[in-house]
Amino acid sequence: MDAPERALAPIEYFVATPRAVLPIGEGFHVPRTVRRRLRSAGFDIHIDRAFDAVLEACAEREEGTWLSPRLARAYRTLHGRGLAHSVEAWRDGTLAGGLFGVALGGLFTSESMFHRVSDAGNAALVATHAHLLERGYTLWDIQTATDHTRRFGLLEMSHQEYLAVLRTALEHPRDFGGSADASRVR
């Protein structure tokens, strides 16, 4: 094992096959029932307002499986470098749900999501889509499919297809910061 391999050895590398992506723009679908509930839910959406709190809530939800303290530190480092971001749903000044992920070029990869209030995770998901579309992102990687994400128009790609769109996405730098901060999802 050479030095780079030793450095990565404690972190397990996972390749989802097929790879799950959510479309940005055409093809993304908000189910009617979700859309109706979000209209009356009154969530305030913020970006990177409480990254650490989102990370901790996701780690609690994952019950210590993959989001270890060591990996959480790595995500905090990426956040400090402007690469990892959170999209948060707030209600009455309290963090109700959210997701976090990593942005590189035109790629955003969602790593984990949580909710403490019904539909707060959906609000963060819908707001993330709007933000990625507005900022010109081309690839939204969610890694593995779930029944829930299938409802939003999920696409599954072979490893070869994914690598081709990934290569293109990485060639087009984007700025994740922006106007979804302090917006309202209704």
Domains along the sequence of the chain with CATH: 17-185 (3.40.630.70)
The Cα–Cα gap between 46 and 123 comes to: 11
- Residue 126 contacts residue 133 (beta carbons within 8 Å): no
Tokens for 66, please give them.
């993959």
pLDDT in tens, the chain (186 residues): 444 444 444 555 567 789 999 999 999 999 999 999 998 889 999 999 999 999 999 988 655 567 888 899 999 999 999 999 999 999 999 999 999 999 999 999 999 999 999 999 999 999 999 999 999 999 999 999 999 999 999 999 999 999 999 999 999 999 998 544 445 444
What Å distances lie between residue 160 and 18, 126, 155, 181, CA to CA?
A: 10, 28, 14, 35
pTM of this structure: 0.86
